[in-house]
């Protein structure tokens, strides 16, 4: 596993440093582009923090961040938009933690973090976690919020539904683990991982869903989360890394998710129309920078946190077993999209041992089908029935044309799923 981790980290770091000039918060032609640039600049600060705190100095990134943090425009950015402190301040915070904060900016950060506005804003728990983590790292405690108490209201205490969760919830979930723990680096200003929450089932299920989505970005964040928590099977970690190496690693970068025409995950930023003057190099950076930042951090954290002999402590997940586990993730995604027929077909092709290997996931799938059942039929088709009626003039044929065939496949899938409490067969 060390060889794979080294290859991922070196590739990701080459991409980040090779595109370093793109991490410029002041180079943009349209407002939405400014959001992308500034988001990326902040995340580069997080990358620096993580690598430096794991003993991997990045002097070229320190210098790059310091150049912009020492620019008078950065001070203006903090003071012009006090409500966006968490979106803009981390590069300065990261430089301070490594002892290289330009002295002229400290007063501006102090003023911004004391703004009444940022503490008066109504925030979701994950957003408050972000603010409190940055406050701790800066050393500001002039507020009455408690990080541990906020986490008790977060989706760590109430983990995402492994079937119903949207992709945005994957990221909220991972951030609530690695931000409070400083990416697991045991920073004395923050919390020490693992955090006191049982998260193995949601982490495992979301990893499988993310792989089935071909979303390396989410997979890598979930691997970081699982490693910090110590709640993800080492054999699944290893196979996930092998999947990234085989499917998402090129000679130049780790491939970011391409869920829209422009390849950007953030739905708001998907509307950005890249101007011709940005050129192919900038477009490549925009599509892949986040995944490569996460890949570099994930490789560093996994290598540091897992003992070198860890892969030998568990029986390896075979390629066939991993493929079936990913099929289970695909079925979760299909059920999430209410593709009952497709999900049933996927499930009936999965071996009984795979269901027994993931009993909690299997139980959730079984419960889902139970809630979809009315008599001998499966599915709540309120909108589909309405559309059918609008198209045909009545719903007389709806049952025979849709419900009966879907229900037959669901019956087959439910009958195929074994009792998860039965032991694995040889």
User: How far from the centroid of its chain's Cα atoms is residue 8's Cα?
Assistant: 17
- The structure tokens listed for 269 are 């930023």
State percent of the chain over pLDDT 70.
Answer: 92
What pLDDT shows up at residue 30? 83
Mean pLDDT calculated for residue range 370-398: 94
Q: What share of the chain is helix, strand, coil (3-state, %, to 5)?
A: 65, 0, 35
| Cβ proximity of 158 and 209 under 8 Å | no
Convert the pLDDT of each residue in 29-81 to its tens digit.
888 889 999 999 999 999 999 999 999 999 999 999 999 999 999 999 999 99
Query: From residue 58, how far is each of 128, 158, 279, 398 by CA, in Å?
Result: 29, 37, 27, 62
- Over 80: is that where the pLDDT of 233 sits? yes
- Over 80: is that where the pLDDT of 326 sits? yes
269 or 57, higher pLDDT: 57
Q: Could you give phi then psi for residue 232, rounded to 5 degrees? A: -140, 130
What pLDDT shows up at residue 267? 42
- Over 60: is that where the pLDDT of 312 sits? no
Task: Report the distance separating Cα 328 and Cα 334, nearest Å.
Answer: 10
Query: Dihedral (C-alpha) 106, 110, 112, 113: value to the nearest 10 degrees?
Result: 130
Convert the pLDDT of each residue in 284-302 to its tens digit.
999 999 999 999 999 999 9
Task: Report the distance separating Cα 40 and Cα 99, nearest Å.
Answer: 22
pLDDT category at 265 given cuts 50, 70, 90 is very low
Q: What is the pTM of this model?
A: 0.93
What pLDDT shows up at residue 360? 97
């Amino acid at each position: 596993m060390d060889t794979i981790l080294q290859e991922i980290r070196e590739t990701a770091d080459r991409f980040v440093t090779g595109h370093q000039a793109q991490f410029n918060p002041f180079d943009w032609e349209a407002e939405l582009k400014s959001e992308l640039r500034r988001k990326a600049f902040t995340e580069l600060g997080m990358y620096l923090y993580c690598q430096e705190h794991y003993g991997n100095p990045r002097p070229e990134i320190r210098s790059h961040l310091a150049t912009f943090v020492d620019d008078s425009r950065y001070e203006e950015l903090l003071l012009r938009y006090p409500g966006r402190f968490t979106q803009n301040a981390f590069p300065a915070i990261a430089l301070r933690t490594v002892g290289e904060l330009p002295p002229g900016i400290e007063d501006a950060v102090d003023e911004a973090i004391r703004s009444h506005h940022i503490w008066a804003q109504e925030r979701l728990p994950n957003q408050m976690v972000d603010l409190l983590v940055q406050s701790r790292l800066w050393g500001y405690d002039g507020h009455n919020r408690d990080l541990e108490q906020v986490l008790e209201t977060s989706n760590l205490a109430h983990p995402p539904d492994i079937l119903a969760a949207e992709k945005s919830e994957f990221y909220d979930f991972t951030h609530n683990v690695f931000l409070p723990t400083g990416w697991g680096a045991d920073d004395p200003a923050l919390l020490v991982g693992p955090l006191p929450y049982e998260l193995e089932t949601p982490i495992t299920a979301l990893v499988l869903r993310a792989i089935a989505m071909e979303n390396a970005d989410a997979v890598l964040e979930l691997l970081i989360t699982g490693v910090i928590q110590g709640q993800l099977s080492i054999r699944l970690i290893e196979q996930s890394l092998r999947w990234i190496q085989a499917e998402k690693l090129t000679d130049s970068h780790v491939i970011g998710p391409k869920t829209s025409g422009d390849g950007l995950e953030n739905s708001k930023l998907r509307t950005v129309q890249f101007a011709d003057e940005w050129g192919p190099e900038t477009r490549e950076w925009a599509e892949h920078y986040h995944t490569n930042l996460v890949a570099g951090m994930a490789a560093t954290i996994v290598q540091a946190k897992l003992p070198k002999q860890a892969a030998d402590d568990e029986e390896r997940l075979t390629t066939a077993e991993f493929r079936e586990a990913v099929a289970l993730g695909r079925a979760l995604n299909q059920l999430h999209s209410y593709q009952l027929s497709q999900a049933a077909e996927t499930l009936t092709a999965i071996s009984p041992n795979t269901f027994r290997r993931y009993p909690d996931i299997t139980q959730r799938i079984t419960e889902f089908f139970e809630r979809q059942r009315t008599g001998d039929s499966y599915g709540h088709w309120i909108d589909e029935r309405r559309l059918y009626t609008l198209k045909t003039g009545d719903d007389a044929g709806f049952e025979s044309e849709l419900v009966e065939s879907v229900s037959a496949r669901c019956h087959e899938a439910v009958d195929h799923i074994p009792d998860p409490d039965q032991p694995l067969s040889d």
